[in-house]
Amino acid sequence: MTAMDDADLIMIIEDEAKIAHLLADYLEREGFRTLSWPEGTGALDQIRTHNPALVILDLMLPGMDGITLCRELRTFSQTPVLMLTARVDEIDRLLGLKIGADDYVCKPFLPREVVARVQAILRRTRPPATELQPLATEEPALQYRNLTLYPERYRCEAAGQGVELTPLEFRMLQTLMSRPGRVYSREKLMELCYTDDRIISDRTIDSHMKNLRRKLNALLPDDLIQSVYGVGYKLG
């Protein structure tokens, strides 16, 4: 799949209008957009033009059949293909032919089942933003319970969800996470987290820490940052 694909667009190549409509209907209810094409002829041009996120492809089509179409498609695109077949025993045969389809569904099917398969294929072939692939030379992520910090990407995730942090909040959290349990005084935090020489007060650290905790606590069941009375802050 290219990075330029149309993320919500599902192309349905199916000559039985009733089936095409039914699938379009169910997919659109799940937030997809759909485009139907009723024959093999011209289908590849349609895929080239619209660059869909996934193609639902019927096996028996007028013009070019689904097997040939899928093979042709694979010569220029990795767009996932969900193949519709009329007989269960066809699926074994198709698997043996290695035509490059990502999944198969046999007719008659429940439209809901097809939608679930579409979603599963998209999940598999396109990891969501929260499952970022590690960069080759990336500084290791910091992990504490359900909190993850990716220093080089300036990304913080709490319970799998991204949290928007200011650069200062990020550095404070990074400092605490580098040594869980260690108490950092306000002075130490200022020294480690402020990159310029502005004169700031203890109260400034407190207010930034308060904002940081509020953001994390919106997503986490427990307050992971503790204030240690008269000293400073720690994680855990």
Nearest residue to 203 (alpha-carbon basis) of 235, 211, 195: 211
Of the candidate spans 14-22, 95-103, 159-167, 178-186, the one that interacts with Ca ion by CB under 5 A turns out to be 14-22
Report residue 78 CA to chain centroid gap. Answer: 18
Window contacting Ca ion (CB under 5 A); options: 20-28, 60-68, 147-155, 183-191:
60-68
15 binds Ca ion (CB under 5 A): yes
40 lies in the site for Ca ion, by CB under 5 A: no
Minimum Å gap between C-beta 49 and Ca ion is 22
Shorter beta-carbon distance to Ca ion: residue 12 or 158: 12
By the rule CB under 5 A, 58 interacts with Ca ion: yes
Applying CB under 5 A, which part among 7-15, 48-56, 105-113, 225-233 lies near Ca ion?
7-15
**Minimum distance, C-beta of residue 104 to Ca ion, in the bound complex (Å):** 14
13 near Ca ion, judged by CB under 5 A = no
Q: How far is CA 35 from the centre of its chain?
A: 23
Q: What are phi and psi of 198, to 5 degrees?
A: -60, 145
Q: How far apart are CA 167 and CA 96, in angstroms?
A: 54
Distance CA 196, CA 18 (A): 66
Residue 192 CA to residue 201 CA, distance in Å, equals: 14
Single-letter amino acid code for the residue at 95 = L
Chain position whose Cβ is nearest to Ca ion: 60
Q: Which residues of this protein are in contact with Ca ion, per CB under 5 A?
A: 15, 58, 60
